[in-house]
Amino acid sequence: MIKEQLEKIRERADAFIAQADTEQALEEARIRFLGKKGELTGILRGMGALSAEERPAVGALANKIRENIEQVLAERKEALKSKGMELRLRAEKVDVTLPANGKKVGHLHPITQTRNRMVEIFTGMGFEIAEGPEVESAYYNFDALNAPADHPSRDETDTFYFSDDTLLRTQTSPVQIRSMIGRTPPIRMISPGRVYRCDVADATHSPMFHQCEGLVIDKNVTMGDLKGTLATFAKAMFGESTRVRFRPHNFPFTEPSAEVDVSCFVCGGKGCRVCKGEGWIEILGAGMVHPNVLRAGGIDPDVYSGFAFGMGIERVAMTSFGITDLRLMFDNDERFLEQF
Ligand SMILES: [Zn+2]
């Protein structure tokens, strides 16, 4: 009687375990048949009612069935494990015929692209690159450049001062003086770099921006050389049909001075949105180096003459890329930068 019950438990356990398809279901099966309150344990508890003759045989059978169920459980567990592995391998299979996920390659910022192009054009004309400090003395930034003591750009509302004599350079022009000192002309240099002014950021202003300074000093340098140099630059930068126009202006460090426009490379001079109907776009200031500036650089103005120019790199970049808000240049929003 009890032997039949044991055999039935074995059959039920076999069927139950065969259907278990998760580790959790297997554990439930183990508890149901082998646990402290399990079916097999229940039968063994009832062995007290058996005669002394019957007990060993029933005990042996119960142990055999326990071992049997344990074995079936272990086998099923092993089977589930390899099935899980197989499923995982199938899910993780790599289809080598699919196109690869492309790596995102970055590119240079529009300001850097523009600066590099300027450097390329001017070095092609024989200019060398000069550098100067961004933390500059008032002497190099103003005095040596012939800026009068009451020049508005010296004001604290225009210039970032560390002390009366130390400031963040407001222009790349101090590099002119640094390039002249201790050297004998000919000098042909450009100096691209950051400059700082106390401006609130808006569509056309930024407290930090970039300029590219240019300086040529030699014997018999004339305004014609300046015009030819800038015309060559403009054609290379904006296109072969670009023309330049000089308008009289006043800078302390050059005499005569001019503001320089290029013909609009979009409409060719007819007038459009980019040039605001003017046909011309202002890109830089230039002129013949003032004798006082030559003297400050230790160069004799009776022997040598020279020209200088300075242009905003952002202005050139915005003009050539058609960017209308300066702030976009410094937001570093990838959606913007990706377009250039
Ligand atoms: Zn235009």
217 and 116 part of one domain: yes
10 and 159 part of one domain: no
Query: In this structure, what DSSP letter does residue 251 have?
Result: E
Identify the CATH number of the domain in which residue 211 sits. Answer: 3.30.930.10
Q: What is the model's pLDDT at position 91?
A: 85
81 and 177 part of one domain: no
In this structure, is residue 132 part of a structural domain? yes
Asked whether the beta carbons of 297 and 281 are under 8 A apart, the reply is no
Which residues are placed with Cβ below 5 angstroms of ligand 1, an ion? 264, 266-267, 272, 274-275
Q: What is the model's pLDDT at position 4?
A: 83
Domain end point (choices 36, 64, 91): 91
218 and 262 part of one domain: yes
pLDDT tens profile 206-261: 999 999 999 999 999 999 999 999 999 999 999 999 999 999 999 999 999 999 99
Domain end point (choices 91, 124, 155): 91
118 and 81 part of one domain: no
Residue 263 CA to ligand 1 center (angstroms) comes to 8
16 and 130 part of one domain: no
155 and 302 part of one domain: yes
Residue 111 CA to ligand 1 center (angstroms) comes to 22
Q: What is the model's pLDDT at position 138?
A: 94
Number of domains in the chain: 2
Residue 261 CA to ligand 1 center (angstroms) comes to 12
Residues of the chain with pLDDT under 70: none
- Reported in sequence order, the residue ranges of the chain that DSSP labels E, i.e. its strands, are 128-129, 135-137, 166-168, 187-196, 208-218, 244-251, 254-263, 280-289, 305-312
25 and 136 part of one domain: no
Residue 113 CA to ligand 1 center (angstroms) comes to 23
Q: What is the model's pLDDT at position 286?
A: 97
Q: What is the dihedral of CA 37, 39, 44, 45, to 10 degrees?
A: 40
In this structure, is residue 34 part of a structural domain? yes
Strands 254-263 and 166-168 come out as unpaired
In this structure, is residue 100 part of a structural domain? no
In this structure, is residue 71 part of a structural domain? yes
The string of DSSP codes covering 22-82 is SHHHHHHHHHHHHSTTSHHHHHHHGGGGS-TTHHHHHHHHHHHHHHHHHHHHHHHHHHHHH
Q: What is the model's pLDDT at position 108?
A: 93
Q: What is the model's pLDDT at position 228?
A: 96
H helices, E strands: number in the chain: 12, 9
Q: What is the model's pLDDT at position 34?
A: 85
87 and 139 part of one domain: no
216 and 333 part of one domain: yes
In this structure, is residue 104 part of a structural domain? no
Asked whether the beta carbons of 264 and 278 are under 8 A apart, the reply is yes
14 and 145 part of one domain: no
In this structure, is residue 245 part of a structural domain? yes
Residue 231 CA to ligand 1 center (angstroms) comes to 18
Whole-angstrom Cα distance, residue 52 to residue 62? 16
Whole-angstrom Cα distance, residue 10 to residue 64? 10
Residue 179 CA to ligand 1 center (angstroms) comes to 37
The string of DSSP codes covering 74-92 is HHHHHHHHHHHHHHHHHHT
Whole-angstrom Cα distance, residue 337 to residue 340? 6
Q: What is the model's pLDDT at position 237?
A: 93
In this structure, is residue 180 part of a structural domain? yes
150 and 239 part of one domain: yes
In this structure, is residue 200 part of a structural domain? yes
Q: What is the model's pLDDT at position 100?
A: 80
Domain end point (choices 34, 59, 91): 91
Residue 336 CA to ligand 1 center (angstroms) comes to 23
Domain that holds residue 85: 2-91
The contacts of residue 48 (CB under 8 Å, 6+ apart) are none
pLDDT tens profile 66-84: 888 889 888 888 888 888 8
Residue 294 CA to ligand 1 center (angstroms) comes to 38
